Amino acid sequence: MNILGSITLICALTAVALSEKVRYDGHKVLNIIPRTARDVHDIVKMEEEFQLDFWHLPKYLNDSLHVRVGPHSLEPFLAKLRQMETAVSIWINDVQSLIDTEDRRRRERRSVKFNDAFIDLEWKYFTLDEINQYVIWQAQQNSSYMSVDYFPNRTVDENEIHVVKISHPEKKVNQSIFIDCGIHAREWISPAFCLHAIKQLLHGNHSLLSDFNWHIVPVLNPDGYAYSHNMDRLWRKNRRVNGESLNCRGVDLNRNFGFMYDPGTGGSMDACSDIYTGTEAFSEVESDGISRYILDNSDQNFVAYLTVHSYGQMWLFPWGYTSEKPEDYADLESAGFAAIEALYAQSRTRYSLGTSTEVLYSAAGGSDDWAKGAAEIKYSYTLELRDKGRYGFQLPEDQISDTVTETWEGVKALAKELKARISGVPS
C-alpha cells in the first residue's frame, strides 16, 4: 500500500473508532423549578417518552430539578412544561461542547511521567491507566508507608481493583479510616480526590498516620471509569453484561449492596436503567469485593467509611433506604458539621448536611447504608463534591485543585474530631 493508501486507511479506521463514541450534540441540561410535588412526579413519569436523564431531583419545594434532554425531545418536552406552568431555564446549552472542551484540554496535555513526588495531580483528570501507574509508582517510592492490595476477583473487563493502605511504619495504630472513590463512572472528580488524599498522606503532615491507618480504593468501578473516558462520558454503572438485554449493560453499584437491598426504593429492575440494581445484592465483583475486604480486615477497626461521589455539595449519612434516622443521628451530624465547617473555612464552599433521604432522596442498596448497618462502621458518609449543577459531572479541570483541597480539609477535620471522640478528649 502506498503512503496515500495508508493515510486513507488510518483516517477510515479513526472515523470508525470515533463514530463509536457516544455523542451529545445539542443535548441540553435544563434547570426546572417544579411548583408542586405533583409536578415532580409528572416530570419523572416522562422519562421514557422523552428519553430524559435526571441529573438532580428536587428534595424540597423551590429546589430545582436538573435533566438532560436530547434535541429531538426538547420542543415537545418544553411544551409539556409550559402546560404545567413550570419555570425552566437552560443550565448547559450543549453537553457535547463541554465534552469537546474537556477532550481538547486532555489532548493538549501530554501523558504524565511519574518521577517527582510532588507531581501536580490536579491539572487534569487522569485516565485509568495513569491512575494505576501513579498508585504503583507511589507504592514503590514509599514502600515503608504504603502498600497496594487487590480485590480477589477481576472485573468484567479484566481490570484489577486496587486498595491502597497507608500507615505509619513504626507506630502501631489500631483505628482505621476507609475511603472509596469512583463507584459511579462519570463522577471524575471523585478519583481525583482519592489521588490527592494519597499524596497528602504520603507527603503532607505524617501526624495523620499517628491516629489512623488509611485504606483507599482510588477507582472502585474501573470498567465504568475507562468506558466514560473512551466511549460515553456520561456512563454511570459498571459494565456487566445483563443476560438477554445485550444492548443494556451495567449495574448501578450503589444500588447493589446487601443491606436493606430493595429495587423498589430508588432503584430499578430494568437492565437499561441507570439505576439498575442487578439481579441480587452483591451480584457484582466491585460491591462484593469491597464488602469482603472490609469484613476480612475487621482487625483494622474501621471507625469511618467515606464514599466519594459528585455532584451537589452534600455531606450525607445513613439512612438512604428509609426516612427514619439512625439512633446516633446527633453524633453523625455533629462530626459531619466539623467537616463541612472546615471545608467552608478553606474556600467558602457551602455543603448541605443530613441523611441521604432528608437531603437528597431515598435509595436502598447504597454502600454507606451497608457500611453502617452491616459492617457496623459508625461514621459512614457519602460525599457529593462540587458543583451544584453549573457544570455537573463535567466539572472543569481548573476546579480540580480547589475541590480536592477543600474536601481534604473536610476529611482531616473529621479525622481530628473522631480522634478526639475516641480518646475522650474534646477537640
Residues in touch with ligand 0X9 (CB under 6 A): 184, 187, 254, 309, 316, 320, 356, 360, 363, 366, 368-369, 382, 384
The footprint of Zn ion on this chain (CB under 5 A) covers a number of residues equal to 2
The H or E element spanning position 210 is helix 208-211
Determine whether 341 is an active site residue.
no
Question: Which residue's C-alpha cell is 437491598?
Answer: 261
Per-residue contact string for residues 169-208; x = within reach of Zn ion by CB under 5 A:
---------------x------------------------
Which of 28/309 has CB closer to Zn ion? 309
CA distance 146 to 200: 12
User: In DSSP terms, which residues pair with 28 in a beta bridge?
Assistant: 69
Contact present, 359 and 314 (Cβ < 8 Å): yes
CA distance 75 to 65: 18
Which of 138/291 has CB closer to ligand 0X9? 291
CA distance 115 to 138: 10
Helix boundaries (H) for 251-328: 285-296
Contact present, 67 and 129 (Cβ < 8 Å): no
Of 134-142, 226-234, 302-310, 319-327, the window that binds Zn ion (rule: CB under 5 A) is: 302-310
- What's the start-to-end Cα distance of the chain, in Å? 73
CA 410 from centroid of its chain's CA atoms = 17
CB 309, min distance to Zn ion, A: 3
CB 362, min distance to Zn ion, A: 15
CB 194, min distance to Zn ion, A: 14
Instruction: Decide which of Zn ion, ligand 0X9, none touches 417; Cβ closer than 5 to 8 Å per partner kind.
Output: none
User: In DSSP terms, which residues pair with 381 in a beta bridge?
Assistant: 306
Sheet-wide strand order for 146-150:
146-150, 162-166, 213-217, 176-181, 302-310, 379-385, 314-317, 352-355
User: In DSSP terms, which residues pair with 181 in a beta bridge?
Assistant: 308
CB 233, min distance to Zn ion, A: 15
> Which of 122, 384, 397, 406 is labelled catalytic?
384
CA distance 315 to 326: 16
Which of 368/406 has CB closer to ligand 0X9? 368
Which of 286/369 has CB closer to ligand 0X9? 369
Out of 309, 386, 412, 416, point to the residue binding Zn ion (CB under 5 A). Answer: 309
CB 368, min distance to Zn ion, A: 11
Q: How many other CB atoms are found less than 10 A from the CB of residue 299?
A: 7
Which of 384/406 has CB closer to ligand 0X9? 384
CB 5, min distance to ligand 0X9, A: 48
Which of 229/309 has CB closer to Zn ion? 309
Active-site residue numbers?
384
Task: State the residues that interact with Zn ion by CB under 5 A.
Answer: 184, 309
